C-alpha cells in the first residue's frame, strides 16, 4: 500500500482489462472521478492513509409502510353512450324554424361603400 505525499486517498479498480490505481487529494475529486467513469461501489476499493479521513457513513432511512386507508369505491368518470342518451333530455329545435337572426337590409354585407 503506497501513498504519495498530498494524496491520502487511493482507489483501485479494473478499467476494461487493466487494473488501475488512482490517488486523490480529497473526497470531492474522488466523487468526481467515480461519477465520470460511472463506477459503482462494487467496482472499486478505496484505501485511506489515515483512517480519520474516511467519511462517516450516513445511516440509511428505513422505509415504513403507510397504514392502509379504507378504499372508497371509485367514481365512474364516463358513462356508456346508452346511459348518456337515456338519462339526458336533449332539447331539439322545432323543424322549419331557424334560430339564426335574419338581416333586415339586403346587400348590407360590406360596411364600406365604394362611391367616388
C-alpha cell read off for 1: 500500500
Which of the four pLDDT bands, split at 50, 70 and 90, describes residue 59? confident
CA distance 23 to 51: 16
**Over the stretch 90-113, which tens digit does the pLDDT of each residue have?**
566 666 655 566 555 555 555 555
Nearest CA to 27 out of 2, 57, 59, 54 is that of: 54
> What is the DSSP-derived secondary structure letter of residue 37?
T
pTM (2 d.p.): 0.47
Cβ–Cβ < 8 Å for 14, 20: yes
- Range 48-62 average pLDDT: 79
Residues facing residue 47 across a β-bridge:
10
CB atoms within 10 A of CB 95: 5
Amino acid at each position: 500500500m503506497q501513498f504519495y505525499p498530498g494524496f491520502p486517498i487511493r482507489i483501485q479498480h479494473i478499467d476494461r482489462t487493466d487494473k488501475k490505481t488512482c490517488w486523490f487529494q480529497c473526497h470531492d475529486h474522488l466523487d468526481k472521478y467515480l461519477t465520470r467513469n460511472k463506477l459503482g461501489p462494487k467496482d472499486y476499493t478505496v484505501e485511506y492513509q489515515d483512517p480519520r479521513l474516511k467519511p462517516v457513513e450516513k445511516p440509511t432511512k428505513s422505509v415504513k409502510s403507510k397504514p392502509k386507508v379504507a378504499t372508497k369505491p371509485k367514481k365512474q368518470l364516463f358513462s356508456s353512450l346508452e346511459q348518456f342518451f337515456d338519462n339526458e333530455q336533449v332539447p331539439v329545435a322545432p323543424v322549419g324554424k331557424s334560430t339564426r337572426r335574419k338581416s333586415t337590409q339586403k346587400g348590407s354585407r360590406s360596411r364600406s361603400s365604394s362611391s367616388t
